[in-house]
Amino acid sequence: MKISIDTNILTNNPEVVFDDSREFVISFTVLRELDKLKRNPDLKRAAQQAIKNLRVQIDAGKIEVLNVPTMEELGDSPDEMIIKDTLAANASFLSEDINATVIAMTLGITLSNFEAESEIDYGYTGYVAIDGTIEYETDFVQIRQMQLEEFNEKFGTDLKENMYCIVDRIVDKDDIWLNQSGVVNRISQSMKPFRDADVLLTPMDSIQMCAMHAVFDTHVPLTVIDGRIGTGKTLLVLAGVLARARGQKRYQDFDTIYVSKPPVSVNRDLYTGYKPGTTDQKMSGHLGGIKSNLEFILDKREDKKRSKEMGITTLSDAVWMELFEVKEIDEAQGDSLHNSVWVIDEWQLLNEESAKMVMSRISDGGKIVLVGDTAGQTYGMNRANEGFKPLFQWLGKAPEFNYIKMDRIYRSPLAEFIADVYE
């Protein structure tokens, strides 16, 4: 039987809520009474401790709050008036008042965390660019590996974990170095692994090369490719995963390429819902960008024309059927993805719970690649509960996670103009 706890029990024994042998509930009125008792010198400490304990148990879903008022039923105390305004503004709530925080939680208001937010380096790009020198040409061109401390001292850098360094050489194309676990290696920029997978795409600059390498690098199980529209994110990601699924035998780590995208419409008023049929058919509209990019990478113009005229299957269609599998994000719970890579487009639309769930599905030897525009945070979804914020506190700190930020738009002059207009 459930037990409803009265206020005096909580002030006499604030730890009672941690008795897992009983199922407790609490009236919203008790929260109001505890708030008043915080002003009583004799009961202040006990009331504050009771509220803190209740927050822990309510947040864990172990205590149900009864008779939670609607917005119209909130009282006229300062806390409840502030919370009423917060609800009306559809805002998150930031407070050091523990009781106000608990009340906000019971009403389903998202709590803000300035400390966590302040830990994110929004200027982090995943790479640093330096100018090459005569000394570099004479002393370092033949070197392939350096210790991090020595590299930073020689070139005045401060490389973080899984961070790239692009050296703008005087006489040749850029060199690219990568720091992993305190050792900085010059990476290969050979396109052969990609050409063997029939990928004819060539990076437009060294940052795009870093993005392709980050996806291709199976030592790192989690990759985020971030950037504005038209920067080539999806093309580069597909090139990287294709080389790991159908390129040279020694690079074929993945049997399946899973693809997903949150099924969110640009305009909810225009959203017609899922299409009938298989998962592939249901998600076809949302994954159109991935399919069109796959065609761009694999299908020659004359082959596409011939396929329409003669009904011949294009290379992209054949590869899609052979390697790709559409996965609905909501159906991934409980999955454990082996020998596979999972590409999630527009991942910035995921909230914390969904982001945590999808990133934890990858088994050892697999990889997940998250693609999107976190700065744009399209549609203002999941305000104060964005899934990328907890992860971004680990930028440049975790060996399991690499990140590349892309800003230069290559799609077209029009795309660049529109991006600037609507920034």
* Mean pLDDT rounded to a whole number for the chain: 85
Together in a domain, 204 and 160: no
User: How big, in percent rounded to 5, are the helix, strand and coil portions of the chain?
Assistant: 40, 15, 40
What integer pLDDT is reported at residue 380 of this predicted model? 52
Together in a domain, 98 and 162: no
Structure pTM? Answer: 0.71
| Residue at a domain's end among 168, 187, 206 | 187
What integer pLDDT is reported at residue 256 of this predicted model? 94
Beta strands 183-186 and 145-147: pairing type? Answer: antiparallel
Together in a domain, 332 and 279: yes
Q: pLDDT tens digits, residue range 114-129?
A: 555 567 788 899 999 9
How far apart, in whole angstroms, are the C-alpha atoms of residue 254 and residue 341?
6
Q: Which pair of structure tokens corresponds to residue 282?
A: 């249901």
| Residue at a domain's end among 112, 129, 147 | 112
What integer pLDDT is reported at residue 83 of this predicted model? 81
For residue 102, the tally of other CB atoms under 10 A from its CB is 22
Together in a domain, 385 and 277: yes
How far apart, in whole angstroms, are the C-alpha atoms of residue 107 and residue 279?
35
What integer pLDDT is reported at residue 20 of this predicted model? 84
Together in a domain, 48 and 174: no
The stretches in the chain having pLDDT less than 50 are none
Total of domains in the chain: 3
What integer pLDDT is reported at residue 115 of this predicted model? 55
Together in a domain, 167 and 35: no
How far apart, in whole angstroms, are the C-alpha atoms of residue 334 and residue 336?
7
What integer pLDDT is reported at residue 423 of this predicted model? 66
Domain range for 92 is: 2-112
What integer pLDDT is reported at residue 116 of this predicted model? 56
Type and span of the H or E element at 235: helix 233-246
What integer pLDDT is reported at residue 303 of this predicted model? 63
Beta strands 127-131 and 163-168: pairing type? Answer: parallel
What integer pLDDT is reported at residue 68 of this predicted model? 81
